[in-house]
Amino acid sequence: MTATTIVIERRVLLEIRQIFPAACETLKPFFDPANGWGSGSSHHEHLALRALKEEYPQLSAQESYIVIETVKRMHSASHLNHPTA
């Protein structure tokens, strides 16, 4: 008798997973600490949202928010792990 393994995909936002690497590149300039934009301002987030919607108009508002927040957190964590001297 052989054991059968059933793999169930729990992640439901598969479209976001497919576009995420390219979306990261699109949004990189908006969250790169090297650009020197103020961290207290949300203006760059608004510009990032506009750029994302231009590139991926099929994303809902919630999906766009998920992508932007994830990229922002990735860049923030990267900056904390590799501070510039």
Q: What is the mean pLDDT of residues 13-42?
A: 80
Residue 1 lies in a domain: no
Q: Which residue has the higher pLDDT, 80 or 30?
A: 30
What residues make up the domain containing 76? 14-33+43-81
Residue 73 lies in a domain: yes
Domains contained in the chain, number: 1
Cα-to-chain-centroid distance, residue 68:
5
> Over the range 51-84, which residues count as b (16 or more CB within 10 Å of their CB) and which as e?
bbeeebeebeeebbeebbeebbeebeeeeeeeee
Residue 8 lies in a domain: no
Q: Please give the helix or strand (H or E) that residue 10 lies within, else none.
A: none
* Helix, coil or strand: residue 63: helix
Q: What is the mean pLDDT of residues 6-12?
A: 69
Q: What is the pTM (predicted TM-score) of this model?
A: 0.69
Cα-to-chain-centroid distance, residue 74:
8
45-71 pLDDT, tens digit per residue, is 889 999 999 999 999 999 999 999 999
